[in-house]
Structure 1
């Protein structure tokens, strides 16, 4: 079991909080280490703005759900915990989905069903089960923040490469000039697989997976 899966004992401290945050962001990044949540990673990262919005949506849902579950951890029946987790996660996902539909309809249409599918995101469910149920609300928030930022970092990084090579632009602004020949493969799912695999290789080369970790 990875270090950030262990219950945090005692009171929070700046160094402990920083350690929890950094592990979720890099060394125990859910995509790099466990290849979780790649459905949206492959589907919505053809444009940077899509990656940003999807990442922030997962970040907000993870943080809010982790805090609520942590506060309720002593009163949630063990047999019903998964149902409770999904109900709480679904509540926050619906709020974000309706907000996007009300104020950012083009983005909502571009993301399609993937915002609603956050409800079944195994990254969020995993953090609730492995961390929030056995730690205080602040530590749970820091853990969720690290994991959410790590997830957002991967989505934005992949979408930067894909949009740049696939469209010659970043955030809709043309940066490679009119003579650039778009790489069609970068717009399609195979391009996402390729870039994701490259990023995972780079991360694991920099921070190798420990045996038994």
Structure 2
């Protein structure tokens, strides 16, 4: 699985961290109460995965086998800390909303998993592409859950984008929508994720039957 097309397909679909491997569920479920929060954390995760994979691949020949895991942890921590500081400086409102979940990117199993399984065995270019693909797969699942929960729960989409991201044109709302409380409660995240997993499984089974 070293061609760019295979790497992208794995990250976005067959090896998707959110729908297939079910990694990083803590931020996936906790931050996805609206689309803006999901987009912010998703982009930070994409950047973290891309940078850490490239860095790990760049030093893979310089680290001994017995110290590679501590080295990977230090690289991941340094990258995530840099992202958090940059977000605090340039997007303070979004940083305040996401809070602890930004530094918790360090504990996302996908970062260490891809560093060990892929980045430590491939060139920096392919490793960066793998990190980008894995992060993008996580982002679209996170954004899909956040969008569905916000639309169903509050009748809006990207509400607050102007203040948090400086993107007022993205804000959409349904006037007079009464809201659906269950969607914005924590259980709503589990329900939406379960529906997405079920849709993907049904799609895979239909494709398999059609291929026979």
TM-score range with shorter-chain normalisation?
0.7 to 0.9
- What TM-score do you get using the length of structure 1 for normalisation? 0.87
Match of 1:188 in 2: 185
Match of 2:43 in 1: 56
- What TM-score do you get using the length of structure 2 for normalisation? 0.88
| CA apart distance, 1:177 | 1.7
2:14 matched to 1:27? yes
Match of 2:164 in 1: none
Q: Which 4+ residue blocks in structure 1 deviate beyond 2 angstroms?
A: 173-176
Deviates more, 1:139-148 or 1:155-164: 139-148
SS of residue matched to 2:33? coil
Aligned with residue 75 of structure 1, among 62, 67, 84: 62
Aligned with residue 91 of structure 2, among 94, 104, 110: 104
Contact 1:32–1:204 under 8 Å retained in 2:
no
Instruction: Report Cα offsets for 1:85-108 as digits up to 9, x if no partner.
Output: 111111111111111111211111
Is there any run of 5+ residues in structure 1 with no aligned partner, and where? 9-15
Match of 1:163 in 2: 150
| CA apart distance, 1:175 | 2.6
Instruction: Report Cα offsets for 1:10-41 as digits up to 9, x if no partner.
Output: xxxxxx21121121111110111111011001
SS of residue matched to 1:95? helix
Match of 2:175 in 1: 177
SS of residue matched to 2:19? helix
Instruction: Report Cα offsets for 1:142-161 as digits up to 9, x if no partner.
Output: 11111010000001000000
2:110 matched to 1:123? yes
User: What count of residue pairs does the alignment treat as equivalent?
Assistant: 195
CA RMSD across the alignment: 1.4
Take 1:174 and 1:131, find their aligned partners in 2: how far apart are those partners? 40
SS of residue matched to 1:74? coil
Instruction: Report Cα offsets for 1:39-75 as digits up to 9, x if no partner.
Output: 0011111111111110111110100110111111112
